[in-house]
Structure formats: C-alpha cells, structure tokens
Amino acid sequence: MNNDLKVVNNWVQESLEASILKYQKGLLTNNKHYIERCYREVCKLYPPYLHMQEWWSQYHYLYDSQEDFASDYIKIFCNVLSNWKPRSTRKKSRYGGSGEFKNYFIGALQHNYINLVKADNAGKRNPSQKCPICEKWATPLSTHLLNHHTDILWTHLDKIGYKLDELERCPFCKSHKMPRSYECDETCEIKKDGGCEICIVNKRTAIIKKHILSKHSSMLFQKFNTLYPNYQTVSPRALSVYMSEEDDKEDICYYDSLKDENKINNLMNLSLDEVENKIISTILNGSSRLKYDSKIYGCSASEFINAVENIKSKMSLVGIEEN
C-alpha cells in the first residue's frame, strides 16, 4: 500500500511540475485564454484554496475582510507559479530537500505574512516587565525568556519524554531538515571524518534547540505562563523571525510561532502520520464513537491502537484534556 501511495504521489508531483512549466511558457504568449487553461490544469493537481482557511485563521487580523485576504493569497500563489523552478534547475540543497512546489509556496506565504506582522508591530510599544525568575527588567519579556531562560522548555521536554541529545530531528513538525553529515569542532581531540559521536550529538542538539526556539517558541511561553500565570509573555501577534533564503545559508525558513489558543491547531501542527491524521479527522467530523475500521484507516488493529496512544500523548503536550 505504501509503495502504491508513493507511486501515485510521484506521478502527481511530476504532472504538477509539467503543468507549472507549461503555465510559465503560457505567460510568455500573452494569450489569456491559453494561460487560463494552463492555470486550471495546475489547480486540478494543486488546489490553491486547500489550506487557505488555516492561514486565514492565523493572520485574519492583518486584513479588512476575507475577500482582501483571499485576493492577496491568490496573488502570492500566482507569483509562486511564475517563479518556481524544479529541483533539477536549482542549487542543490545540503539538506536533501525534495523541491516540491508546495514547500516553495508555503515558504512564500510565511515570508509574506511575517513581513506583514513585522510591519504591523513596528509602531507598537512593548511594556517593560520584571522577570519573576531573575528579577531583571525586560522589554519585552518574551525576548528575555528566549535569550536567558530556555532551560524552562528543555526541562519540560525532558520530563515529558523528549531527550534532546537523543533526538535526530524535530519531533513536532515535518518541515525541519537536518544536515546529512557533520564535522568535528576545531577543538575536538578525536577529529574523526564525518564527526565523532560527541561532536555529532552536540551539533545535532544545538540545531534542534535553535529550531524549536524559532519554530515552536510558543511552547516555552505556554510553560512559563503555567508557572507564572500573572505575567504576560506574548501578544496575540508574532514576536520576531529568523529567516534566510532556502539552500543559501545554514538557517532555513523558520519563524516564531504565535501563542495559539486554538489547541486543535497546535495538535495539527505536530508531526502526525497518515493514520493519526485520519483518526483526528474522524473525531473532528463529529463521530461519537472511535472504533477500528481497516477500510477507513488502512492499517492493522495494532497500528490503530498505537496511533490512538500517540495522539493521546500529543494531546497532553498541547494541553488538550481527554474526555
């Protein structure tokens, strides 16, 4: 079954790539009817509105209406269609990226909305607060936590079973990519080709920590707010962003998460496999009873049980209580 899905996915990606290149050639003809026909072919393979509601729920406050948002969203989609290049014609990624169109589109959306957030926040004042941990005044407190008190998050992750020095990738999302190889530090006495075990663990842990603080910083703020409920750490808007062009620098496209009060969104942002996604979809569709069905979930009974247990653990992580 997995092989069949892989074949289908490869076919869709190849067809989408061919349709986009056809659309780009159509733009050179200035033939509106032909361009529109090529555009519809692309949309059949990759419906642009598929995930628009998720972006709207996160960034709606930046727009006067949903119509304005949708117009801007499609403008970005068309710009991406015009400028996207297949992996074979781009610089090779050191992270072994697949070069899929959807990743390029998501990156463009992130850049656009984060730039809007930065502009929206540029004139806003951040109140100074006294940190309850070190009793130093900070402006804003959120940045102070990111710079000086990240141990709150590392201790929390350790308690719930995530050993940072044992992780090989981010456990919370699918987008994070790790280098394929490592080198020893200049001060390392072992100096082994490909990196000694100590240097590999240290560098891998440092990369994962940096990613978590950038992409999943809301977990730090949520834990802090649990420990110190009388202190405000995050406004309803994004704080900062650490971004660079994909494939050109060590840091790829990361951004600070908002403090999202929608815990279902937080759950869906974690790394879920196909079975877990189907189970959650069943629940969200209003099913009062959750039971195993091989036709629906496409897995064995034991795999279904494991998926349910994994979902329970992830629900606990984002603060969803079991009913």
Mean pLDDT of the region 289-317: 77
What percent of the chain has a predicted confidence (pLDDT) above 90?
6
**Dihedral through CA 130, CA 136, CA 137, CA 138, nearest 10?**
-100
Give the 3-state secondary structure of residue 211: helix
CB atoms within 10 A of CB 164: 17
- State the pLDDT at residue 254: 29
Mean pLDDT of the region 292-299: 81
Q: DSSP letters along 10-32, please?
A: HHHHHHHHHHHHHHHHHHTTT-H
pTM: 0.39
Name the maximum alpha-carbon separation found in the chain: 67
pLDDT in tens, 203-246: 999 999 988 888 788 788 888 888 888 776 644 333 333 333 33
Q: Where are the domains of the chain?
A: 2-121, 129-261, 265-318
Average of per-residue pLDDT values in the chain: 75
User: In the structure encoding, which two tokens stand for residue 261, read together?
Assistant: 């009060």
Which of 33-47, 157-171, 193-207, 294-308 bottoms out in mean pLDDT, i.e. has the lowest? 294-308
